[in-house]
Structure 1
Amino acid sequence: MSNLATLPKNGGLANKNTASNFPLLSTWFDDFSLNDFPSLFSSNFNTGITLPKVNIKEVSDAFIVEMAVPGLKKSDFNINLENNILSISAELKEENEEKNKGYTRREFGYSSFKRTFTLPETVNDSKINANYSEGILLVHLPKKEEAKQKPSRTIQIS
């Protein structure tokens, strides 16, 4: 959570009722910390995959996106490019059913994520490729020929 404004404790926003022995409403909220309930107030209620971490690096002829997403299969991913926006998503649905004497236990699971990236104009979008190995999704975004970094060279003085 972000603190955009600082309010004085017990101040200005609550009316004081001197005839009452109850604490002011503002003091009740001062003592109540949302940090005591981080999973309730900061969670996106997704019990499966969290938003995966991404490394993006630039090399002389390409940009490389590395995404850590262990435990998935290649077929779980959906990678799209539309109007220079690259989106990477995955969706998993799982259903387990166990039948024993007199009862049936069924468990359902659903997990998903989506990350989007605005690509620079220098990316050659017709040559983008992706590879998934050992829990790392690697997306190779080659640069257009005119945007590639040229190797340095020595210029002779005449």
Structure 2
Amino acid sequence: MSLIKFNRRFPLFDQMLPDILDTDRLLNEDLILEDNWVPAINVKENKNDFEIEVAAPGFSKKDFEVTITDDILTIAAENKNSVEDKDEEYSRQEFYFNSFKRSFTLPKSIDFSKKIKAKYDNGVLRVHLEKLEILKSEEHKKVIEIS
């Protein structure tokens, strides 16, 4: 069973009105920040484990929260930065807030008794989930003969 993403906000709305504001050349892109950014995610299923890679550059390790509740893996992050630029006649301060939340339904093959590991390095968060021992081998597979 594979991991399934289920938190797509409004897929029908996205199809009906595709990025109307992006075609308006009168507005500067800096004025409108899309709040629906979600990072790209890779899910690898190996013989013994699953590995989830989240491309989230600009965050730090402390910005992430990885939780599992009732077979739902949730990866969330929030980043707050501020830049202050001072000049003789004026002062300008810009705030930057970025956050996301992605959730996955975990398959029954995940071994919750083993330690689930997460590591953030070079803009990529990697979450490692072990499979149950019985599912690591092909012995649990039973072939049924068709008559």
Structure 2 length normalisation: TM-score? 0.68
Number of aligned residue pairs: give it: 118
Q: Give the CA RMSD over aligned residues.
A: 2.7
Higher RCO (CA < 8 A, seq sep 6+): 2
Q: Which amino acid aligns with 2:53?
A: E
CA distance in 2, matches of 1:71, 1:56: 21
Match of 1:8 in 2: none
Shift of the alpha carbon at 1:38? Answer: 4.4
What are the superposed Cα offsets for residues 86-125 of structure 1, whole Å, 9 maximum, x if unpaired? Answer: 1111101112222322321111111101110110111012
Shift of the alpha carbon at 1:71? Answer: 2.4
- Structure 1 residue matching 2:22: 3-state secondary structure: helix
Matches within 5 A, 1:102-117: 102-117=89-104
Match of 1:39 in 2: 22
Match of 2:128 in 1: 140
CA change 1:119–1:36 in 2 (3 A) is closer
CA distance in 1, matches of 2:119, 2:38: 19
CA distance in 1, matches of 2:117, 2:133: 17
- The yes-or-no answer on 1:2 pairing with 2:15 is yes
Structure 1 length normalisation: TM-score? 0.64
Q: Which amino acid aligns with 2:120?
A: Y
Matches within 5 A, 1:59-74: 59-74=46-61
- The yes-or-no answer on 1:128 pairing with 2:141 is no
What runs of 5+ residues in structure 1 fail to find an aligned partner?
Answer: 4-33, 152-158
Aligned partners of 1:46 and 1:111 also within 8 Å: no
Please point out which of 86, 90, 99 is paired with 2:86. Answer: 99
Runs of 4+ in 1 over 4 A off after TM superposition: 45-49
